[in-house]
């Protein structure tokens, strides 16, 4: 007796079901799920795998996404507690871990999340030895270093989301002040994703017109327009959103998805992401900090050598010192 399927469909070729652009997201909390929905809506993967230790939540989130399959073009959504589900991933996005409590700094989270990385990274690499890894869990710069060490992957394939979000917030706020869409407001934040991040006021421009050429005091204490407050707002916005809604999710999900697009589509766009900066700007330690990087199918293929002025370089080095002082104590 043939089934309805057999009566309806005649199979002509037995196709091997190997994904070409599989993405795994580890951690299905607020950030992981925001990344998932943005990636699905942008059609960036042919398979999306989700991994979490909280099995009921994982199953619920997976079913909820699968039931939206009619509305996007990713034919396979899988999940499991076991990392075998992540096998053959092109890109693994790590959002697992504790999040900041109200008023808690990103750096205070460190040892808790280092221990989580120890438990997950070797298994991920075992199942996807050729993957790129995109680290989002905080403190993201230190954890990207930790993942690099634990994974044995080249530093070019272990990328921290770093200041990609900070720079997006920066451009949004500049846009608000000027009444111009953020895509036309160019500006970079480098260094630590967090309190010691460094705004590059010298490069802020609209249509190639450097704002600092219009007011050399831009971004300093004596600037009467107080542009400096924009950077202050960037630093405070994470804390403020956590105070208001308990976590941040949408902007980080969108900004991570922008990075995913550059990597999986080999776009070679430049993003401020966290990478190994030893040897740059006189830094001697193995520290990960954000600088403008070219992202493509092999991860970070190039870095853009930004000419920092003396004040920016001093702030960048201060950011590195802060991270190194924490990183060197890690077990
Ligand atoms: N880099 C950034 O710009 C940025 C922005 C926002 C949040 N974050 C960070 O992202 C992380 C996640 O934030 P969130 O709000 O989604 O937190 P969340 O608590 O909502 O989710 C974390 C998830 O990780 C899972 N998890 C914990 N241990 C695990 C393990 N060993 N293996 C697999 N899964 C595990 C939990 O079960 C949970 O579902 C935090 O560290 C947060 O600080 C980073």
pLDDT digits (tens, 9 = 90+) for 197-227: 999 999 999 999 999 999 999 999 999 999 9
41 backbone dihedrals φ, ψ, rounded to 5°: -70, -25
Catalytic residue among 126, 127, 186, 193: 193
C-beta pairs of 119-123 under 8 Å, 24+ apart in sequence: 120/26, 120/83, 120/94, 120/96, 121/94, 121/147, 121/150, 121/151, 122/150, 122/151, 123/83
Q: Is the pLDDT of residue 107 over 80?
A: no
The per-residue pLDDT for 111 is 86
35 vs 249: CA distance, rounded Å: 8
Strand partners, 294: 270, 302
193 is catalytic: yes
- DSSP code per residue over 66-91: HTTGGGS---EEEEESSGGGGTT-SE
Q: Which atom of ligand 1 is nearest to the CA of 54?
A: 37
Across 292-326, b (16+ Cβ under 10 Å) vs e yields bbbbbeebbeebeebebeeebeebbbebbebbbee
The per-residue pLDDT for 104 is 79
134 vs 144: CA distance, rounded Å: 8
The per-residue pLDDT for 153 is 98
155 belongs to an annotated ligand binding site: no
CA-proximal residue: ligand 1, atom 34 (nearest): 52
218 vs 177: CA distance, rounded Å: 13
Pairing of strands 269-276, 288-296: antiparallel
The per-residue pLDDT for 204 is 97
Which one has a higher pLDDT value, 120 or 330? 120
Average pLDDT of 83-98?
96
The per-residue pLDDT for 109 is 81
Residues 163, 189: contact at Cβ < 8 Å?
Answer: yes
21 backbone dihedrals φ, ψ, rounded to 5°: -140, 60
Average pLDDT of 147-170?
98
DSSP state of 191: B
239 vs 3: CA distance, rounded Å: 57
The counts of H helices and E strands in the chain are 10, 14
- Residue 55: enclosing H or E segment and its boundaries? helix 55-66
Chain-centre distance for alpha carbon 65: 21
Alpha helices in 16-54 (DSSP H): 30-41
pLDDT grade for 16, boundaries at 50, 70 and 90? confident
Question: What is the pTM for the complete model shown?
Answer: 0.97
Average pLDDT of 39-52?
98
CA of 300 to the centre of ligand 1 (A): 24
Q: Is the pLDDT of residue 180 over 90?
A: yes
Average pLDDT of 33-61?
98
* Maximum Cα interatomic distance, the chain, rounded to a whole number of Å: 85
285 backbone dihedrals φ, ψ, rounded to 5°: -100, 160
Strand partners, 91: 23, 132
Give the pocket of ligand 1 (CB within 6 Å). 26-32, 51-54, 57, 95-97, 99-100, 113, 116, 119-120, 136-138, 140, 161, 165, 193, 247-248, 252
- DSSP code per residue over 113-165: HHHHHHHHHHHHHHH-TT-EEEE-SSSHHHHHHHHHHHH---GGGEEE-TTHH
Contacts of 57 by beta carbon, 8 Å cutoff, 6+ apart: 28
30 belongs to an annotated ligand binding site: yes
161 backbone dihedrals φ, ψ, rounded to 5°: -60, -25
List the structure tokens of 102: 């109200």
């Amino acid at each position: 007796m043939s089934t309805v399927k057999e009566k309806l469909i005649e199979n002509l070729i037995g196709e091997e079901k190997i994904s070409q652009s599989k993405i795994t997201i580890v951690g299905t909390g607020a950030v992981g799920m925001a990344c998932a929905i943005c990636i699905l809506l942008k059609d960036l993967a042919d398979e999306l795998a989700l991994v979490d230790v909280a099995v009921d939540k994982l199953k619920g989130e997976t079913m909820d996404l699968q039931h939206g399959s009619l509305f996007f073009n990713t034919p396979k959504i899988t999940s499991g507690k076991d990392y075998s589900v992540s096998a053959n991933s092109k890109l693994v996005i790590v959002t697992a871990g504790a999040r900041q409590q109200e008023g808690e700094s990103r750096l205070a989270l460190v040892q808790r999340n280092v221990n989580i990385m120890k438990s997950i990274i070797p298994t991920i690499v075992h199942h996807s030895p050729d993957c790129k890894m995109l680290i989002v869990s905080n403190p993201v710069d230190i954890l990207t270093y930790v993942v690099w060490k634990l994974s044995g992957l080249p530093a070019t394939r272990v990328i921290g989301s770093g200041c990609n979000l900070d720079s997006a917030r920066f451009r949004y706020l500049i846009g608000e002040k000027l009444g111009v869409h953020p895509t036309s407001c160019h500006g970079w934040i480098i260094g630590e994703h967090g309190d010691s991040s460094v705004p590059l006021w010298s490069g802020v421009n609209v249509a190639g017109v450097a704002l600092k050429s219009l007011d050399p005091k831009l971004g300093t204490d004596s600037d009467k327009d107080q542009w400096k407050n924009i950077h202050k707002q960037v630093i405070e916005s994470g804390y403020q959103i956590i105070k208001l809604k308990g976590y941040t999710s949408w902007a980080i999900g969108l900004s991570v998805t922008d990075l995913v697009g550059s990597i999986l589509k080999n776009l070679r766009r430049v993003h401020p992401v966290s990478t190994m900066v030893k040897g740059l700007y006189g830094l001697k330690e193995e520290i990960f900090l954000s600088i403008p990087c070219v992202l493509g199918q092999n991860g970070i293929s190039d870095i853009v050598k930004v000419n920092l002025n003396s004040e920016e370089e001093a702030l960048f080095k201060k950011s590195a010192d802060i991270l190194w002082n924490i990183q060197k104590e890690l077990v």
